[in-house]
Amino acid sequence: MNRQPALGRRVLVTGAAGSIGSRLCSALLAAGCRVAGVDDFFSGLRGNIEPFAGDPRFFFHERDVCESGLLAELSALHGPFDAVLHMAAVVSAPWSVENPEYTDAVNRAATLALHEEARRLGVGAFVFAGSAAEYGLPLDGPAREDMAGEPQSPYGLSKLLSTKAIEESGYGCALRLFNIYGTTEGNPGPYDGVVRRFLDAALRGEPFTVCGDGGQTRDFVYVDDVVRALLHASGASGGEPLSGVFNYGTGRATSVAELAGIVAAVSGRRLEIISLPERPGDLRHSRADMSRSRITSLPMPETRLEDGLRAAWERLREKDGRSG
């Protein structure tokens, strides 16, 4: 990335200790930005920010995005922000079914309050991490941005209400991110994403557990590709910040059963699958239509699924070796 366009920009990243937010902070620092990171460690990990925690241009705040006036307070401390990249969220659809009020408070109410505060303070760019879960209706083909509706979980609904409000306001943008995987992670729990579960099972030499018949499909996109798109959307790559709602995925569908096979091959483990009941709030099929994103010159994903999974596997083995 060309460092010059972003040099000296002040950027706020929420969810800074999460799998996306931490990579985003690292990329922004490498581009010459001054970065304020916010996280309450609900799902983020302190270890994700350790590689750059000592950078004099990085300022971390253990805060809750639901706090009123958070952006104004941080702006008074660090100076006016050029961009806000809002990654903080409750990220599990099944967990949101059990905790709908908390999910709405974090994913919708806090997002809209932060968005309005950013507009009032004159922040040049606002980028929100939307989700493929906003497409709740059964879809036969790729999901276009105008197809979003009737999400199957409070998580999907909270994201949809936020992206719609941002789009209607004419200020800021939302990238509807499809199934992200990569080499950083959040706190483990019973609702971890399928890639994380498969990699952990391979590491332990245990069978892969599949919810349902394994025929459900997802659009898996590597975290570093997502970070490049987010930087572009914020204007940090040199262009104008985006406005509106845009899908971000590969446009390719991979079944959960196929994913298990690839993880087994990458890890050198024997493929053994145990079937579990389907989970509430999960979609059957999910694949991004990338037409609108291509028109806006968003950088398209470059990482093959096999290569991204291999990188994630090697990182997991390295971490396990250090802790063992």
- Please list the active-site residues: 155
Q: For residues 293 and 226, is the Cβ–Cβ distance under 8 A?
A: no
Q: How far is CA 235 from the centre of its chain?
A: 18
E strand or H helix at 248, and its extent?
strand 244-248
Long-range contacts formed by 71-78: CB under 8 A, 24+ apart: 71/12, 71/114, 71/117, 71/118, 71/121, 71/123, 72/117, 72/121, 74/12, 74/36, 74/38, 75/121, 78/10, 78/34, 78/36
Per-residue CA distances from 37 to 9, 50, 228 (Å)? 14, 12, 18
Q: For residues 208 and 273, is the Cβ–Cβ distance under 8 A?
A: yes
Q: Tell me the C-alpha distance between 218 and 213, whole Å.
A: 14
E strand or H helix at 233, and its extent?
helix 223-234
DSSP string, 257-316: HHHHHHHHHHHT----EEEEPPPTT--SB--B--HHHHHTTPPPP---HHHHHHHHHHHH
